[in-house]
Amino acid sequence: MTDSIALDELTCELKNQVASRVPDANLDLCLTCGACTGGCPASGQYDMDPRKFLRMLLLGMDEEIVKNPWAWVCTMCGRCVTACPMKINIPKFIFNVRAAWPREKRPKGIRGSCDQHIRSGNAMGVPKEDFVFTIEDVAEEIKEEQPDFKGLNITADRPGAHMVLNQNSREPVTEPDEMSPLWKVLHLTGVDWTYPTVMWGGENYCMFLADDEGWRYIMEEFAHHIEHNIKAKVVVNTE
């Protein structure tokens, strides 16, 4: 008679944590088929891939998981979920691995942008006056040089505007002239719109940083500004 192999009790703290935060992540249902890994552009980086990462989670290799920088190479793009026969939510697993990193150890670039967003209202840290100056400056030039757009009206935080345009905060800083083509389209279609200047920006680095608190704060302040100050009906993201 063969004896069954006795296994030590597994302690899977990280797994339990992820499972409690994401009840529908289906972590235990993995068939190890590898469909996720086969279609993941991050497979092989840092000798890691989604199936292997998930195996490690299920085996309780918490320390190794949280030490591996792969959680920052995966873009949480979700392609693996689409491919997975068991609909295992790997991006949410990755999000929680990121959250398990001590905040000060998370990538400086992402952390800096998140902190900046909370501190100054946008990830690039553009003061409101500078932003308003930039858009007015670009608009002035167009009005002068392009007679078709003499009536161009670019505003920020204008109460009563129907639509709010939330763009990436890099645009006004690094390439202001890339904003105005969109203004012209909006002008010609006759939309009544304005820019928000509270917790704005199409990008949300606190989300990437897996800083739930920061992320929530940004969203709440933004929503409050739109609902109570501008009272817009529609928020449009440019990306």
Partner 1 sequence: MRKFNIPHTFELKSIIELFALWIKQGTLKVNSDWNKDLKIKFTVQDPCNIARKIESDHIVNDLRFVIKTVVGEENFIDMVPNRSNNFCCGGGGGALQAGHTEQRRAYGKIKFDQIIETGADYVITPCHNCHAQIEDMCHHYGGSYHTVHLWTIICLAMGILGENERTYLGPDLADHGLEKEDA
Which run of H or E residues covers position 17? Answer: helix 13-21
Distance separating alpha carbons of residues 49 and 30, to the nearest angstrom: 14
Q: Collapsing DSSP states into helix, strand and coil, what is residue 92?
A: helix
Task: For residue 43, count other CB atoms closer than 10 A to its CB.
Answer: 18
Name the one residue in this structure whose structure tokens are 């296994």: 7
| Single residue of 58, 86, 191, 236 touching ligand SF4 by CB under 6 A | 86
| Single residue of 14, 18, 25, 30 touching ligand SF4 by CB under 6 A | 30
What are the two backbone dihedrals, phi and then psi, of residue 227, each rounded to the nearest 5 degrees?
-70, -45
Amino acid at 42: A
The verdict on 236 binding partner 1 (CB under 8 A) reads: yes
| Single residue of 14, 19, 51, 68 touching ligand SF4 by CB under 6 A | 51
The verdict on 22 binding ligand SF4 (CB under 6 A) reads: no
Amino acid at 166: N
Distance separating alpha carbons of residues 181 and 184, to the nearest angstrom: 5
Q: Which is nearer to ligand SF4, 31 or 182 (CB)?
A: 31
- Mark the segment that binds partner 1 (CB under 8 A) among 3-11, 23-31, 37-45, 59-67: 37-45
What are the two backbone dihedrals, phi and then psi, of residue 75, each rounded to the nearest 5 degrees?
-95, 5
When CB distances are held under 5 to 8 angstroms depending on the partner's kind, the choice from ligand SF4, partner 1, none that residue 59 binds is none
Q: Could you say which residues in the range 173-232 bind partner 1, by CB under 8 A?
A: 175, 177-178, 180-182, 184-185, 188-190, 202-203, 205, 208-209, 215-216, 219-220, 223, 226-227, 232
HSE (CB half, 13 Å, CA atoms) of 107?
16
Number of residues that bind partner 1 (CB under 8 A): 65
Distance separating alpha carbons of residues 209 and 99, to the nearest angstrom: 7
The verdict on 65 binding ligand SF4 (CB under 6 A) reads: no
Assigned token pair, 22: 């994401």
Minimum CB separation of residue 61 from partner 1 in Å reads 21
When CB distances are held under 5 to 8 angstroms depending on the partner's kind, the choice from partner 1, ligand SF4, none that residue 185 binds is partner 1
When CB distances are held under 5 to 8 angstroms depending on the partner's kind, the choice from partner 1, ligand SF4, none that residue 25 binds is none
Minimum CB separation of residue 125 from partner 1 in Å reads 14
The verdict on 122 binding partner 1 (CB under 8 A) reads: no
Task: For residue 67, count other CB atoms closer than 10 A to its CB.
Answer: 12
The verdict on 234 binding partner 1 (CB under 8 A) reads: yes
Q: Which is nearer to ligand SF4, 179 or 210 (CB)?
A: 210
Assigned token pair, 18: 């992820």
Residue 197 near residue 100, CB atoms below 8 Å: no
Interface residues with ligand SF4 (CB under 6 A)? 30-36, 40, 42, 50-51, 54, 74-80, 83-86, 88, 90-91, 94
